[in-house]
Amino acid sequence: MRSFVKQFFESESGAVTVDWVVLTAAVVGMAVGVILLFNSGPQNVASKISDSVAGIGIDTGNE
């Protein structure tokens, strides 16, 4: 049993898996952060454009 534990802790075959899991979690976390940061930006821009366009009057020349 003791040799199994010693062999388990000296083995490096699982280290690559741990590295990829940590790297993937970091990328996913950053992506979620960026999405949350820029989530309201396009909606605000669209609202401002809509307000600007709604305020434009059209001259038909029939008056």
* pTM given for the model: 0.49
Tell me what pLDDT residue 63 has: 60
Tell me what pLDDT residue 25 has: 96
Tens-place pLDDT, residues 5-63? 788 777 766 677 788 899 999 999 999 998 888 887 777 888 888 888 888 877 777 76
Tell me what pLDDT residue 6 has: 80
Distance CA 15, CA 19 (A): 6
CA distances from 62 to 7, 50, 57 (A): 92, 26, 14
